Structure 1
Amino acid sequence: MKTMLKEQFSSSLIDHIRSMLLQFAPWKSSHSENLKQAAVGIILVSADDGSNEICFLLTLRCGKLRSHAGQYALPGGRGDQGENSVDTVIRECMEEIGLQLSADQVLGTLDLYATQSGYAITPVVFAVAGEPEFSLNPSEVEQLFRIKLSDFTGERSAQFFSQEEGGPLLIRFPIFDHHIHAPTAAILYQFVEVVAGRYKQVDNLAAPDFATR
């Protein structure tokens, strides 16, 4: 997995990721239709440090938001009436970070993730070639980062633990001096495993109580 995650952004790597997503049919829970529908984007771009390594976009949410304030998150949000998951990510990316996406950039989707707060999140993977343009909405996003997939290896691989004895299994990724928690961490964990040719079901991975607010 480490070698694959360190590869440069290229058409061959994008084709590989697309083929891996096609091999693993997304899983959806039987009760997902009763949950509030949402979608997030795993937006793949090249690194801007000269390495051209493959990265994904990660936001730091505004500290004044009513929910999940100051947390790291993938671009996305709740779906509007009549939208599918692709439509939602395209709209939310424009609203949050000023990035124009199109449906022909979609590589596939991951498993639906049901959150503790009653949302059914569909992760949609996009690939953006070239140098994208951004315009952050300060009422929603404080910062935007390009995170290399290779940063999720070694000491920064996924960490699993329990909040209390007998409680649900939690997941987090170390980032900067903080952590990414579920649902974002669970979604990203499944994605890096799929890139490596493995399937990991992640619906059993929860977030700590403070990250659900």
Structure 2
Amino acid sequence: MTPEALLAALDRPAPPSSDFDLNPDVVLPGRRVLRDAAVLVPLLEGDGGLRVLLTKRSSRLRHHPGQIAFPGGKHEPGETPEAAALREAAEEVGLPAGAARILTRLPAHETVTGFAVTPVLAHVARFDPVPEPGEVDEVFDVPLAHLLDRGAYVVERRRWRGEWRRYYAVPYGPYYIWGATARILRGMAERVDADRG
């Protein structure tokens, strides 16, 4: 699949997603205040087609240590989601200036930690990642075809703040991709599947 074919498949309205999608019994406050954040969903050319670049967060981090994530983080004042995603990718994995061609924004995602995350899909030229030692333990990539296969996803659960929480996971080799990252990718897979149907 080319970036253009993926973009065409994603060119349909889609609702926002949430870490609570699989937990309908959770009642969220109607007037909650979410903090703005953005992540870059980087598509790379690779053997056999497009691949998605991901990071393994540092095990020394206070929040989400060791989890698989897209490069990203909180907005700085006045930043667009695109600017925030590119800045964070430069800081976390050494993405060179001008290496990313922005394709589109994906639907917003609400996390259990109180962020409204805007995923920014981009086609990225091949580069040698440089993990930021304080934040990233590893940078790797996964075939887009695997992540667009809805059959690769499983629903699992774990205790969080005393309650069972269900979530999507899409394992790949030694990597356990789950939570917000898997939910954003699952949203892409659902839209591509609908386009094929």
Which category describes the TM-score, using the shorter chain as reference length?
Answer: 0.7 to 0.9
Mapped contact 1:26–1:109 kept (Cα < 8 A):
no
1:193 Cα offset (Å): 2.5
Structure 2, unaligned stretches of length 5 or more?
Answer: 19-29
Q: Does 1:22 align with 2:11?
A: yes
- For residues 1-213 of structure 1, what are the structure 2 equivalents within 5 Å? 7=1, 13-24=2-13, 27=16, 34-47=33-46, 51-100=47-96, 102=98, 105-129=101-125, 131-152=126-147, 157-163=152-158, 168-198=165-195
CA RMSD of aligned residues (A): 3.0
Aligned equivalents of 2:150, 2:75: Cα separation in 1: 35
TM-score by length of 1: 0.74
Show structure 1 runs of 4+ deviating over 6 A.
153-156
Count, aligned residues: 182
Q: Which amino acid aligns with 1:90?
A: L
Aligned equivalents of 2:31, 2:99: Cα separation in 1: 23
1:52 Cα offset (Å): 4.0
Aligned equivalents of 2:35, 2:72: Cα separation in 1: 14
The structure that is helix-richer by fraction is 1
Mapped contact 1:85–1:122 kept (Cα < 8 A):
yes
Decide whether aligned partners of structure 1 residues 26 and 33 sit closer, same or farther in structure 2, where only a CA change above 3 A counts. Answer: farther
Aligned equivalents of 1:82, 1:197: Cα separation in 2: 36
TM-score by length of 2: 0.79
> What is the identity percentage for the equivalent residue pairs of Structure 1 and Structure 2?
30
Aligned to 2:27: none
1:162 Cα offset (Å): 4.4
Aligned equivalents of 1:32, 1:177: Cα separation in 2: 40
Aligned equivalents of 1:150, 1:44: Cα separation in 2: 12
1:159 Cα offset (Å): 0.4
